[in-house]
Amino acid sequence: MSQASIESAGHVGAAGSGLPGGGTSQSGAGDDLVVAGRAFRSRLMVGTGKFAAHEIMRASLLASGAQIVTVALRRVDLARLGEGDVLDFVPAGMTLLPNTSGAVDAAEAHRLARLGRAATGTDLVKLEVTPDPRTLAPDPVETLRAAELLVADGFTVLPYCSADPVLARRLEEAGCATVMPLGSWIGSNRGLRTRDALEAIIAGAGVPVVVDAGLGVPSDAAEAMEIGADAVLVNTAIAVAADPVLMARAFALATVAGRLGHLAGRAGPGAPTEASASSPLTGFLGAGPATGSGGGAA
Amino acid sequence: MSAPPGVFARELAAVDLPGLSARSQRATPTEVDALLRRVDPGGAGRPAPADARLGLDELAVLLSPAAGARLEDLALAARETTLRRFGRAVRLFAPLYVSNACLSSCTYCGFAKGLPVARRTLDLDEVEAEGRLLADRGFRHLLLVSGEHRVEVSADYLVAVVERLRPLFPSLSIETQTWSDDTYARLVRAGLEGVVHYQETYDRARYAQVHVAGWKRDYDRRLSSFDRAAAAGARRLGIGALLGLAPDWRADVLALGAHAAFLSRRHWRTEVSVALPRIKPSASDFPPVVVVSDAEFVQAHAALRLFGPDLALTLSTREPPAMRDGLARIAVTSMSAGSSTEPGGYGSAGTAQEQFSISDERPPAEVAAMLVRAGYEPVWKDAFPLVDASAQG
């Protein structure tokens, strides 16, 4: 069994206690991310794929300050638990979020999620239905079907989905605990190519919006948080960096910075300063006889 | 001449392979430089280039002697592309040879019909015993290999093998004869994940010369088998060309690239993997008609990676350790290790003829340790059971 506790929701555990080097991975007291009634201080979720070694993955997870870590069930080998399986390297205190990566339709995602629940004991599942191995783009139809199946089966469902405001609403209506729209294709490091759609999803969502996939550099995470995402999930950009541990810290700081920026409320974008001092084009309005307020009297 | 059957056969017939190969010979350093600038992702943290989707023309340039002069730059770009798509991870698998019985006569193969070699087909208990040895060595991905013998290695036999092995291996693939009936569908229902058939060479005339008799002689039957396998639900399709078989290796790599692109487009749910085995000494004593140098071999892999960033590239133990270790850092994403190419060879070597001699004799754990030292995670398991065992009899 994993060292990771799936009952560790809340403000406990070394993983959530802050960053090595004196930084903080959290935006402050009272600003928890709440997923299905469970509170998390960190708004950065991390993945476990593509790392050079399990030890580097573990160090990176710790450096990220993340409290939620997703693991592909296809990579878990129950025969090897305790002997170097990926789950053995997930730090104690982190909340495990098994994912259904590799599932090609709703029935398969459901079956895989049940295997995962039996193996890990958690009812949390990151739903991934990605029949196209090239883009790993989520299948919106099967994802919605799978969400309905999983919710009915008692799972707490966090679906990876297309950046589609209507689909996000439908997933929320189906009972999902979050929605996790993509910023760009998985592993592409292309940032928030779906920004307009993400803004619409965020504006309409009643559950946390977690921007998942495509965040290539820390500033991408900051941007997602600035536009109001509740959390981000990062994997490739950390795992494939020259120094994954340092990159994990960088993403932690960027996530906090973006969150604080969002909470602070940004100034209006790029308005010329003189425009607030006066109104050169419309200042004549109400300034005297030129104002034709008298209807047709002139 | 009538149009060949099969959608890809028609598509390939429209490709001017000799022309592309000549184009490759004429490519200039300036063209290579421009192409390298276009595909260079410039570091793992940088966005994937948006306009880097390459056509066969560009693949020809990447395979050119002019690009060969820029091999290190080519390898660097390929490495960055591989890292982004696949991460620092290499999947490991083992071949399990279940039979060397064969009804096809292929002049380059150690299993060819008529060769006076010791033949053996494993029974189900022997298959399981071999499987258990491989599972104990850590493997969870298994490739079942056989000669082409529809009686000794029948569809019923293969289904039984898959059913016997699936509790041990979440990922099972076959590399057997091609099938034209419902065999692929039966195998997929039994839990098969992948289907591997190498066309060996896409040069029809050369193909006819070396495939003398048997079902494998039918070029189009073989080429169209993937459409049947994919329609049956196979998730991984493996294609390959045997370098050294046809005189123009660049033409075969170009055809392989075209084939991979076709399969990726037409069967969008399947993962396509590509292999470029080089001819090895075997009981056939077949001399390669062209020797692909080590540098050209690396170039071909780097070129295919840049042409198909999503393609799995597979490398067998035919290649020696230095080449395998090197290509794992550039383009290869899937490797066999500790292979025996003889039926029953894991439990007791020397009872039957091997298909070819391997060049990397390191045990799997040693290959895995090499990958770790190179900064890669050896991935033993990257699959889940495809059939619900509890729902089966």
- Give B26-34 contacts, CB < 8 A, sequence gap 24+: B26/B64, B27/B60, B27/B61, B27/B64, B27/B65, B27/B66, B27/B67, B28/B66, B29/B66, B29/B69, B29/B70, B31/B61, B31/B66, B32/B61, B32/B62, B32/B64, B32/B66, B32/B67, B32/B69, B32/B70, B33/B70
Inter-chain touch B269–A133, beta carbons under 8 Å: yes
pLDDT number for residue A271? 46
For position A234, what pLDDT does the model report? Answer: 94
- Model confidence pLDDT, tens digit, residues B8-62: 999 999 999 999 999 999 999 999 999 998 887 665 555 566 556 789 999 999 9
Minimal CA separation from A24 to chain B, in Å: 23
What pLDDT score does B358 carry?
A: 86
In a domain, B70, yes or no: no
Q: Is B264 on the interface with A (CB under 8 A)?
A: yes
| Chain A hits for B88, Cβ within 8 Å | 50-53, 239-240
Q: Say whether pLDDT at B351 is over 90.
A: no
Catalytic residue ranges of A: 126
* Alpha-carbon distance A84 to nearest alpha carbon in chain B (angstroms): 11
Residue B145 covered by a domain: yes
The answer to whether position B8 is within a domain reads no
pLDDT at A88: 86
Which chain A residues have a beta carbon less than 8 Å from that of B270? 133
Instruction: With a cut of 70, say whether residue A294 has pLDDT above it.
Output: no
Residue B304 and residue B274 in contact, taking contact as beta carbons nearer than 8 Å: yes
Per-residue pLDDT for A25 more than 70? Answer: no
Helices (H), A229-268: 236-239, 244-264
Flag if A189 and B85 touch (Cβ within 8 Å): no
CB contact under 8 A, B384 and A239: no
Question: Rounded to a whole number, what is the distance in Å from the CA of A223 to chain B's nearest CA?
Answer: 16
pTM for this prediction? 0.84
Q: Measured between alpha carbons, how far is B35 from A11 in angstroms, rounded to an integer?
A: 52
Tally of structural domains, chain B: 1
Per-residue model confidence as pLDDT tens digits over A40-67 = 999 999 999 888 888 899 999 999 999 9
Provide the domain limits for residue B183.
Answer: 90-299+311-382
Q: What pLDDT does residue A14 have?
A: 38
Percentage, residues of chain A above pLDDT 70: 80
**pLDDT tens track for B238-293:** 999 999 999 999 999 999 999 999 999 899 889 999 999 998 766 677 888 999 99
For residue A113, give the chain B residue with the closest CA: B384
A83 falls in which pLDDT band (50, 70, 90)? confident
Locate all alpha helices (DSSP H) within A48-175, ordered by sequence: 54-64, 106-120, 140-152, 165-173
Residues of B in contact with A217 (CB under 8 A): 45
**Residue A22: per-residue pLDDT:** 38
**Considering the domain boundaries, does residue B18 fall inside one?**
no
Q: How confident is the model over B112-134, as pLDDT tens digits?
A: 888 888 888 999 999 999 999 99
Contact A133 B271 (CB under 8 A): yes
Indicate whether B141 pLDDT > 70.
yes
B44 falls within a domain: no
pLDDT tens digit sequence for A207-216: 999 999 889 9
- Report pLDDT for A30: 79
pLDDT at B160 over 70: yes
| Span of A1-10, A89-98, B62-71, B335-344 with lowest mean pLDDT | A1-10
Average pLDDT of chain B is: 90
Cα nearest neighbour of A74 on chain B: B383
CB pairs under 8 A between A and B: 89
Picking from A55, A56, A57, A75 by the largest number of B CB atoms within 10 A of its own CB, the best residue to mutate is A75
Residue B23 lies in a domain: no
Residue B124, pLDDT score: 96
Distance from CA of B90 to the nearest CA of A (A): 9
- For residue A17, pLDDT over 50 is answered with no
Answer whether B87 sits within 8 Å of A239, measured CB to CB.
yes
A233 phi/psi in degrees, rounded to 5: -125, 130
Q: Which helix (H) or strand (E) holds A160?
A: strand A156-161
Question: Domain with B116 in it: what CATH number?
Answer: 3.20.20.70
Nearest to B383 by CA among A298, A177, A75: A75
> Is the complex ipTM higher than 0.85?
no
How distant is the Cα of B76 from the closest Cα of chain A, in angstroms?
A: 14
**Stretch 12-41 of chain B: residues touching chain A, C-beta under 8 Å:** none
Q: Provide mean pLDDT across the span A263-268.
A: 78
User: Which of residues 86 through 105 in chain B touch A, CB cutoff 8 A?
Assistant: 86-89
- Closest residue to B381, CB basis, from A50, A75, A111: A75
Instruction: Say if B33 falls within a structural domain.
Output: no
What are B380-393's pLDDT values in tens digits? 999 988 887 655 43
Query: According to the model, what pLDDT value does residue A158 have?
Result: 98
Query: Which residue from B minimizes the CA distance to A104?
Result: B269
- Structural domain contains residue B237: yes
Name the pLDDT band for A82 (thresholds 50, 70, 90).
Answer: confident
Which of B48, B268, B376 is nearest residue A189 as measured by Cβ atoms? Answer: B48
Rounded to an integer, what distance in angstroms lies between the CA atom of residue B225 and that of residue B232? 11
pLDDT of residue A19 exceeding 80? no
Measured distance CA(B276)–CA(B274) in Å, rounded: 7
Secondary structure of A276-292 as H, E, C letters: HHCCCCCCCCCCCCCCC
Q: Chain A contacts of B379, Cβ < 8 Å? A: 75
| CB-CB under 8 Å, A76 with B264 | no
| B322–chain A Cβ distance below 8 A for any pair | no
Q: Give chain A positions within 8 Å (CB) of B385.
A: 115
